[in-house]
Structure 1
Amino acid sequence: MISDCWVVLKIQLIVLEIFPFFQVILKMANVTNNATLPLKKIPLFSIDASAIEECNRHVQEDPTVWLGNTACFKNDLQDVCLKREVVAQLQHVYSHKVEAECKPVTNQRVTGRCWIFAALNAIRIPFCKSLGLEEFEFSQAYIFFWDKLERCNYFLNIMVDCCRSGEPVDGRLMSFLLHDPINDGGQWDMFFNLVNKYGLMPKKCFPESQSSENSGTMNSVLRHKLREYTKEIRTLLEDKAAPDDEVRALLRRQMLEVYRILAVTIGVPPSAFTWQYYDKTKAYKEIGPISPKEFYEQHVKPVFDVEQKVCLVNDPRPSNPYGRLYSVDCLGNMAGGRMTIYNNQPIETLMKVSGDSIRDGEAVWFGSEVDKGFVRKLGIQDTEAFDYRRLLGVDVNKGLNKAERLFYGDSQMTHAMTFTACHFQPSNEVDDGAPEKEADALPVKWRVENSWGEERGEKGYHVLSRPWFEQFVFEVVVDRKYVPQDVLDVFTTPVTVLPAWDPLGALARNRITRLD
C-alpha cells in the first residue's frame, strides 16, 4: 500500500517537472499553427440580404424579365433570342461554288474526328470528279486507327524526354499532358503525317466500328494505360540511367499492348484491298489488289496532293506578331513526323486565299470555334444571330475582341469543317468610293460542309457570314498556289514554340466536337 502511494507521488512529481516544458512546446505549436492559418479576408462585395434585396427589386421593376422568363421556361435561350432577319438574310445562294459536292453528308458520330472528316471531305471532291463518282467516302476509321497508334507512341516518347530532363510529374507540363494523354482532336499537319505514311482507302473496304463512331470507352482505356506506362517509364529512368535499348524495349512492349487494344476496338486495317464500284454511268469498275499507300499515290495524289497544301492561322494576340511561324510544344501525333506549324497572318489574308481557292473550284479545310453565334438547328453562323441584350439586358460575345478572347480563355479552335462555296459582291465600294474589283473583294458569306449528318442546316450544310469568319475562324488550309510569295517565305523562317497549353493547340486536344 505504501509502495503504491509512493509510485503515484513519483509520477506526480515527474509531471510537475516536465509540465512547463510541455507548456512551451504547446505555445510554440500554437504560434506556428496561427502563423500558417490564412487570415480571413474581408471581401469587397458580399452576397448579403441587402444585395439580394437590391437584385430582386432591380428585376421586379423590369417587365421584360418576367416576359423573358416566361419565354425561356420551356424554350432554349438561343431559340428565344434568335433574330429572324438574320435567318432571312443568310440564304444558301452563292456566286462561286465547287463543281460538285459529293454525297453522302458525312457523320463523325460521338467522336472528335472533325479534322479527319473535314480533310477527307475536301479530298473526295476532286477524287469523285476524276473517277466519275456521285457517292463516295474515304475510310475515316482507317486514318483514325493509325492516328491512335501513332499518337500513343508520340506521347510515350514525350514522357521519356520529360523524365530524362527531370520534369516533375506534378509540374505544369506533366500535369497538363497527363490530364488528357489521348483524345480524338487533330490538326492538318497531323493529317498530313498519316496520309503521307499510310495512304488512304475507301470506306467500303474498311468500315466504321462501334469504337470508331463512339470513342469514349476506348479512349478511357487508352488514357489509363498511358498514365500507367508513364509510371513505368519514370520508374525505369529514376532508378538508374537506363540505356536507350532498355527504354526502347519498354516502349515496344507498351505499344504492342496499345496495338492489341486498337485491333479489338477498331480492327486491323488491311495491308491491301480490292475496291469494286460503279461510276455515275453505272459502269462496273475495279481497283486492286492495291495497298492504301499505293491507292493514295496512284489515284488520289494526282488530284489532291497533301504535300502542296499549307496552313495559315489568324492569331491577333500582340504577343504573336503576324508574318511569323509558330508551333505548340508537345503538339503532334507522330514521332519523327512533321511538326504542327502555323503561319500567322491577318484575317484578310485567310479570307482572300480561301476565296481564291473556292473561285478555282477547290474546297478549303478550316478550323474555328463553332459554338459562338451558331444557330445549331438551322446551321447559321453569324455574329448577330442572337439578340441577348433585349432579353438579358447585356451583350454576349461582344465585350472582348478576338485577341482578348484568346487571352482570357473565352475562345479557341474547337471544330474543323470544309468551305465548298462563297459569295462575292463586286458592287461593294471601298473606302474611297470606287467600285471594288471582284479579284480584290472578300467573300461576304460561305457555304460550309459539316460532318454531323443531314439533320442540321440545309441537309448538313451551314451558311457562315463574313463577320463570323473574322471573329471565329482561326485556320485555313489551301494549296500553296493561292498563297502570295511573301506569305510562303514565312515557312522558311525560325519557329517560335508556344507552351503546350496555348489555345492554338486546342483543336488537337478536343475530345468530342459534335454538339447534340
Structure 2
Amino acid sequence: MNFSINKEDIANFHKDYRNHPNSSVLENTVTKNGVRNASFNWHSIADNAPHFSIDLKTGDVSDQKQSGRCWMFAALNTMRHDMQQKFNLPDNFELSQAYQFFWDKFEKSNYFYQNVIKTAKKATDSRKVAWLMNEPQNDGGQWDMLCALISKYGVMPKSAMPESFNSSNSRGIDEVLNNKLRHDAVVLRKMINEDHANEEAIDKQRRKMLNENYRILAYTFGEPVSHFDFEYRTKKDNKFHRDANLTPQKFFEKYVGWNLDDYISIIQAPTADKKYHQTYTIDMLGNVVGGREIKHLNLPMDEFKQLAIEQLKNGESVWFGSDVIKYSETKLGIMALNTYDYDKLFDVDLEMTKAEALDYGESMMDHAMVITGVDLVDGKPTKWKVENSWGNKVGHKGYFVMSDAWMDKYCYQIVINKKYLSDDLKRDYAKSPVVLKPWDPMGTLA
C-alpha cells in the first residue's frame, strides 16, 4: 500500500480547512500571538488562586539560574525550611548549591568511567553504550543521588561556597566535561579491547583522568573548602551567631540533623510494566560509586497524595518531581490542565492517559520542586502550593499553584519520611527492587 500524499489529498485538506469554522480568524490569531497565548484559558487564573488551607512559611525563593540543578535546589530547600524553623534563620538563608554541584560532577565522572569499563566489551552501537555516550553527565539528578552526595561530603551554607559564573551558567562546563568524558571513554575502551590492560593499569588511568577532572572543576566552580565559619543573625531578635571551624559533615550533623535513610522516594508510574506496591531501581543510574542507590516505591495516586498531605500536616515540605512544562504558565505561576485549550483551538483530540504519555515519550519527569501547601476541601486536595527555584520574578514571588488534576497527570515522584508509611507500606519498601533499563522514564533526571 502506498501512503504518499497526493495532489487530491492536498486539495481535500485545503477545502476542509476553508470550510472549517472561523479558520481565517484563528489563523490570524495564532500566527500573530503564538500557540500558547492564543489558547490561554483566562478562567484558569481564578480557578487556581493562591489560597491554601495548609500553607507552610518557607521564606524567600531561590534561583537556579541557567543550570539544571532543580533537584539540588529542591532537596536543599526542604532542609533549609527545617533549619529556618529550628534556628530562627533569616528568610534569605540558603545552603550551598555550588558545593553539591562540584562534587556531583566529580562523582558522576567516576560513575561514568565505571559504566564505560563495565560495558567495554559491547559494541559502540549497542543501545547501552549509545545511551552512555549520548550524555556522559548532565546537571540533573534524583533524590537518592543527593543523599549519596551529602552522606559523603556533607553540606555547607551558601556563604561558605557562593555561586560562581559557571554554577549559575553551566552550559560551558557541561560541553567541556562531556567532551573530556567521551575522550576518556575512547582511551579506556582501547586499553581494555586492544591493549588488554590489567585492572591495575586501568585503575591508574582512571585516577589520572579524575585528577584532571578535579582540576577542571576547581577552575570552574572554585575548590571547595574543608572548614568554614557559620555566621548569621536570627530573624526575630537580630542576634549574631558564629560557629567556627566547621566541616561540611559536622555542619550537616549539627544544623540539619536528618537521618537521610528516613526519607525515601515514592513514584507514581501507572504503566503496565510496573506493579504497585513494588520497588524499582534503574540500571546504570547514579553518581557516587558505592553510595546510596536509586530506589523507588510505586504507589497508586490516592496513596501517593495522602502521604504528601500527611507530611504537610506535620509541617514538613515535600520534594517532588514532575513534567513542569506541560500546561504550565510560568509568569502567572499556574500548573493546571485547563491553562491552555490546545485541543479546542485546533479542534483535535490530544488526550492520552498518564501511562500512555510515559510509554510513548509524551511525558516524563523533567523538574523538581517543593510542595509547601495544599488546599483541602472536605478532606480532599483541590490545589497545591509549590516553591520553585526560578527566582521571585515568576509566579507569586516564585511560588506556583498546582491543580490537583495536574498533579494526578504530571507528578511522578515525591520524597516522604518513612514514619508516615503504614506498616504494610514499610514492608513494601523493604522488597528487593526490580531493575529497570537505563532509558526507562522513571530514570530521567530532574
Whether TM-score is above 0.5 comes out as: yes
Superposition map of 1:92-491 within 5 A: 92-98=50-56, 100-103=57-60, 105-135=61-91, 136-163=93-120, 166-280=121-235, 281-301=237-257, 304-396=258-350, 398=351, 400-426=352-378, 438=379, 442-491=380-429
2:14 aligned partner, one-letter code: N
What whole-Å deviation, never above 9, does each CA across 1:45-81 have from its counterpart, x for those lacking one? x222221111111111124221112212321312221
What whole-Å deviation, never above 9, does each CA across 1:117-140 have from its counterpart, x for those lacking one? 011111111101111112201100
Q: Whole-Å Cα distance in 1 between the matches of residues 310 and 49 of structure 2? A: 21
Q: Whole-Å Cα distance in 2 between the matches of residues 320 and 389 of structure 1? A: 30
* Contact kept? 2:90, 2:233, Cα under 8 Å: no
The aligned counterpart of 2:442 is: 504
Taking structure 2 as the reference length, the TM-score comes to 0.97
Unaligned runs of 5+ in 1: 1-41, 427-437, 509-516
* Contact kept? 1:364, 1:419, Cα under 8 Å: yes
What whole-Å deviation, never above 9, does each CA across 1:281-321 have from its counterpart, x for those lacking one? 111111121001100011111xx432211110011111111
Q: Whole-Å Cα distance in 2 between the matches of residues 95 and 191 of structure 1? A: 31
| Greater displacement, 448-457 / 59-68 | 59-68
Does the residue aligned with 2:159 lie in a helix, a strand or coil? helix
RMSD, aligned α-carbons: 1.3
1:87 has 2:50 as partner: no
The aligned counterpart of 1:36 is: none
* Contact kept? 1:310, 1:480, Cα under 8 Å: yes
* Contact kept? 1:65, 1:391, Cα under 8 Å: no
Does the residue aligned with 2:67 lie in a helix, a strand or coil? coil
1:404 aligned partner, one-letter code: E
Does the residue aligned with 2:308 lie in a helix, a strand or coil? helix
The aligned counterpart of 1:76 is: 34
How many positions carry a matched residue from both structures? 444
What whole-Å deviation, never above 9, does each CA across 1:439-479 have from its counterpart, x for those lacking one? xxx42110000011112211111001111111100000011
Does the residue aligned with 2:94 lie in a helix, a strand or coil? coil
Does the residue aligned with 1:377 lie in a helix, a strand or coil? coil
Does the residue aligned with 2:428 lie in a helix, a strand or coil? helix
C-alpha deviation, 1:196, in angstroms: 0.9
The aligned counterpart of 1:43 is: 2
1:151 aligned partner, one-letter code: K
Q: Whole-Å Cα distance in 1 between the matches of residues 283 and 123 of structure 2? A: 17
Unaligned runs of 5+ in 2: none
Does the residue aligned with 2:316 lie in a helix, a strand or coil? coil
Q: Whole-Å Cα distance in 1 between the matches of residues 336 and 445 of structure 2? A: 21
* Contact kept? 1:447, 1:462, Cα under 8 Å: yes
Q: Whole-Å Cα distance in 1 between the matches of residues 343 and 145 of structure 2? A: 41
C-alpha deviation, 1:240, in angstroms: 4.2
The percent identity for this pair of structures is 35
2:9 aligned partner, one-letter code: A
* Contact kept? 1:422, 1:447, Cα under 8 Å: yes
Q: Whole-Å Cα distance in 2 between the matches of residues 395 and 266 of structure 1? A: 48
- Over alpha carbons, which structure has the higher Rg? 1
Taking structure 1 as the reference length, the TM-score comes to 0.84
| Greater displacement, 260-269 / 368-377 | 368-377
1:424 aligned partner, one-letter code: L
Does the residue aligned with 2:58 lie in a helix, a strand or coil? coil
What whole-Å deviation, never above 9, does each CA across 1:337-387 have from its counterpart, x for those lacking one? 111111111111110000111111100000011111212221111112222
1:191 aligned partner, one-letter code: L
* Contact kept? 1:106, 1:453, Cα under 8 Å: yes
The aligned counterpart of 1:18 is: none
What whole-Å deviation, never above 9, does each CA across 1:245-292 have from its counterpart, x for those lacking one? 211101100000000000001111100001221111111111121001
| Greater displacement, 482-491 / 282-291 | 482-491
